[in-house]
Structures are given as structure tokens and as C-alpha cells.
Amino acid sequence: MKSSPSARSWIAAGVRHELLTRALPALRHDMAAPVSVIRMALLMLKRQVGAATIDGPACEERVALIDSQVSELVEAIRSLRDWELAIADEGITRSALVAQCVGLMRSAFDLHGVALDTDAALEPQDDEQRWPAAAALRYLFLGALGYLHDGAEEAGAIRVEADGANALRLTALAREPGASQAVLDAHRAPRALAIDAVALQNLAEDLGYAVALDGDSVRLVLATRT
């Protein structure tokens, strides 16, 4: 039985939830790191205030540190809105999209023995074009990473390259000769919710983008389908 448009939308929503779940450890780290610094700074400030002679400049330094970390924490919390598809945004450049998503997933992929390699052509450029719907593109890029991570056999790296002026190509590369799969996959938990071709295509169609799957590579077009 062919699935209804509503069912396909629910499938895409499930894929987005799975991708957000995978990105959450990095997002939690971005919010927890300032809290740890704030706690340490408060402890040091308490000791300095309780000392026989108060060191004014040192106290001011601790207060300034706390203020900066609170600002970082607020910014990290606000960034959670960037994952909401209904939120209008100013768009995102291709290089920023790659940098954000690779930064979110690098640690998890390294743990599984899969390196993320970005082509030098994706370094930030002056007057680089911005593509609308940053949240949708972020989900799409993470979906492609997840598809190659979950489905490409013997993948030791995923390379991200520019493909023309408006697309990206992600390619799974074989592991280096002699690498032990048993060691590399020692911490890989079994996943019942693997991102397969059906999941990725459903996600792309629901978001309004085109993806082309070719063996162990994925091509993402950053412009929405007309």
C-alpha cells in the first residue's frame, strides 16, 4: 500500500527527531561547558571575597569571566531555535553549513572510527552566497552524513566537497588497509533507527530538496526544487 502524504510527513518528522537526537550530545556540551566555568569562577570569587584582604581587580576579573560565560550560555540556549523549521532565518552559506554540521558530529564519528574530511574549497569565502532555510539544510546535511555513516560498509572516512555552485557531494571512503573493524567499532551501539535511502529521500522530499544517491556518495542541491 502506498503511503499517504500525511504518513510521509510523519516519517520525515521521525527522521528529523533521530538526527536531532544524534546531535544533542554536542549541543549539550556547548551549554554545559559555560556552566562548569561559571561554577569554578563563583568558587574562586567566594574565596577572594572571604579573604582578609579583598583583591578588587581579581574580583572584577572573575565577574567579567562569569558575565562572558553567561552570554555564551544564553547564546547556546537561543541556538536551539535554529532547529525549528517554522522559524524564519537569514539563511546560511555553504561553508558555514558544512562547518556547523561537521563540528556537531565529528566527535561521535571519530568514536566510531569514521573521520570527517572537508575539502579546502569549502573554506569561508568573501561575498559567499547565502541559501535560505538554514534549519532545513542542516537536517538534510546531517541526514546525508547519517546515511553514509549507517549504510556504507567499511567506511573509514566521509569526504565533503563542493559540487558546482549550488551543491555538495558527500562520499564514504574505505578504511585504511590493516585497520581493525573490531577495534574501530568497539563503542558502536546497535541502531534500530538507521538512516537508510528511504528515510533520506523522505526527509529531502518533505523539506523540498533533491538528493541523488550514487553508491557510497550523496549529492545535495542547496536550492529548493522548483
Q: Which CATH class is domain 5-82?
A: mainly alpha
Question: Mean pLDDT across the stretch 86-108?
Answer: 90
How confident is the model over 137-185, as pLDDT tens digits?
A: 999 999 999 999 988 777 889 999 999 999 999 999 988 766 555 444 5
Per-residue pLDDT, 203: 95
Paired strand residues for 162: 168
| Comma-separated ranges of CATH 1.10.287 domains in the chain | 5-82
Question: Mean pLDDT across the stretch 202-225?
Answer: 93
Count of residues in the chain: 226
Q: pTM value?
A: 0.81
CATH topology for 92-224 is: Heat Shock Protein 90 (3.30.565)
How confident is the model over 37-68, as pLDDT tens digits?
A: 888 888 888 888 777 777 778 888 888 888 88
Q: How far apart are CA 91 and CA 75, in angstroms?
A: 18
| Comma-separated ranges of CATH 3.30.565.10 domains in the chain | 92-224
Q: What is the DSSP string of 184-221?
A: HTTTPPP-SS---HHHHHHHHHHHT--EEEETTEEEEE
